[in-house]
Structure 1
Amino acid sequence: MHTNQHAVALITGSAKRLGRQMILTLHQAGYNVIIHCHQSVDAANALAEQLNQQRRNSAKVVTANLLVKEQIHGLAQKALACFNRIDVLVNNASSFYPTPLNQATDEHWLDLFGSNVKAPYFLSQALVPELTKRNGVIINMVDIHADKPLQEHSIYCMAKAALKMMTKSLARELAPTIRVNGIAPGAILWPSDNAPALAENDKTAILQQVPLNRLGEPLDIAKTLLFLIQAPYITGQIIAVDGGRSLGGANKA
């Protein structure tokens, strides 16, 4: 559908980790890409430079704090100005950390709901006129824990459950011109440097819940993203990319 060499994808939170791989994969598929970051400006600029060496003027960087409503709208305008079109919006930026009930704060609530629900909603709203023109696609990064809660992550899981419902609601509301789908990653990357490290036995316990018996890779997510962008008759779906973990039950020893 978007085979045009100059179709443009905006991916939030795409300087590092899964977002970075999605940028690399779409760029390789011929997309011009807009790398959004908040604080990871150096990583974003390095990625853009790397891609622009491969294909001139094919990657741009935009910065915005997605917890500030005015900056969400500003991001939409800045992103549109990069290439004067946007065909694909990927709502990937997300805060993630535990919030045990007895320690949870209003700040945690505003951050987790702000990054995982409010920003995707209002960024989608701001880009609907452009995406309508392009018969565009919105892809939301959900989580298998939108269905099955992760211990002591109630606010995060609630926010992802809201994002899942947003995906389905907007798929209905924006049809037939814009398709809206979600990807729910399972165990793909262990938590990043600034998050609490997982003990080895915790990692083993997680992998025992995965029928395919291994960690996924960022490329698994990026390939699913490319598939959903190019699948013109799929909307309102959440694809779990989790090695079968959401099937429940543990592996045989």
Structure 2
Amino acid sequence: MTQGAKYTADTRTAATPRVALITGAARRIGAQIARELHADGWCVALHYRQSAEAAQELATELESLRPDSAATVQADLLERAGRERLIEQAKQTWGQLDALVNNASSYYPTPIGSIDESAFDDLMGSNFKAPLFLSQAFAGAVTQGSIVNIVDIHVQAPMCGFAAYSAAKGALDTLGRALARELAPRIRVNAVAPGHILWSDHETLSDAQMQAESARIPMQRLGSPEDVAHAVRFLLSEQASYITGVTLPVDGGLRLT
């Protein structure tokens, strides 16, 4: 873990930046969430599993904008020891922890007839089990704070061939509402449900396919990582202080079609 500023309970003041742990923060939506929160004054703990180089590049980018504001932490979220260590290390970096963003996720098709134990354990582990135990550890480590889970708009209308993934995200969506009741009022728990998000660094759709997909969406465009990050920032902000137990769709209206 790269080292950030060290704060103790004795030195914290109202001006001390809030601290967020973002899982799967090295790339794509996770990285954009980190940039968005950092721009809003947060210190960010960037979790990664294997993408050490990308995570460190992001931390360096953010540190160049504001020193002692970003740190990386490695963990395999499918392993109990990794999950338990993650919350502790994130809190120790700045002496506090205010938010957890459960973003890390495995995603691939598992048509019925091809689902095996390995795929089930991976999809259920990354999309439901890890967020559950991380949220439990977070709740035990803070006096107040906020959790945002990244779910999926297709929880309401699952895609063919993605039964295991959809079930895992559906479980996470339900978990968020359950925790919102159990952890209130000291911890708020909400979710963001992205629709079809365009990856500028990894897009396989042709121009014709992109036009056809955009035509299905009332807003007539695919979403961006920035759209998701804006929603996460709002749910973690003071403006959302009376909001808990909600799933905010960021899908351009796709769920309506």
Question: Do both share a fold (TM > 0.5)?
Answer: yes
Alpha-carbon separation, structure 2, partners of 1:199 and 1:123: 38
C-alpha deviation, 1:147, in angstroms: 1.0
Q: In the alignment, which residue of structure 2 is the partner of 1:39?
A: 50
Q: In the alignment, which residue of structure 1 is the partner of 2:195?
A: 186
C-alpha deviation, 1:151, in angstroms: 1.3
- TM-score, normalised to structure 1, is 0.91
Q: In the alignment, which residue of structure 1 is the partner of 2:22?
A: 11
* Residues 127-185 of structure 1: per-residue CA shift (max 9 Å, x gap): 11233x1x200000010011111110000000000000000000010001100000000
- Equivalent of 1:121 in 132, 154, 160: 132
Matched residues, percent identical? 44
2:64 matched to 1:53?
yes
* Mapping of residues 112-151 of structure 1, within 5 Å: 112-131=123-142, 133=143, 135-151=144-160
- The alignment partner of 1:140 has SS state of strand
- TM-score, normalised to structure 2, is 0.90
* Residues 102-138 of structure 1: per-residue CA shift (max 9 Å, x gap): 111111100000000000000011111233x1x2000
Q: Which runs of 5+ in 1 are unaligned?
A: 249-253
Alpha-carbon separation, structure 2, partners of 1:127 and 1:155: 26
Alpha-carbon separation, structure 2, partners of 1:4 and 1:183: 28
Distance 1:169 1:192, change over 3 A: farther
C-alpha deviation, 1:206, in angstroms: 2.7
The alignment's C-alpha RMSD in Å is 1.7
Conserved 8 A contact 1:210-1:244: yes
* Residues 226-253 of structure 1: per-residue CA shift (max 9 Å, x gap): 11111100000000000000012xxxxx
Distance 1:191 1:219, change over 3 A: closer
Distance 1:105 1:200, change over 3 A: farther
Conserved 8 A contact 2:45-2:73: yes
Distance 1:203 1:152, change over 3 A: farther
Q: How many residues align?
A: 242
Alpha-carbon separation, structure 2, partners of 1:5 and 1:29: 13
* Mapping of residues 1-253 of structure 1, within 5 Å: 4-131=15-142, 133=143, 135-190=144-199, 193=202, 197-198=204-205, 202-230=209-237, 231-248=240-257
- The alignment partner of 1:176 has SS state of coil
Alpha-carbon separation, structure 1, partners of 2:209 and 2:163: 19
Conserved 8 A contact 1:191-1:198: no
Residue type matched to 1:216 in 2?
G
Residue type matched to 1:14 in 2?
A
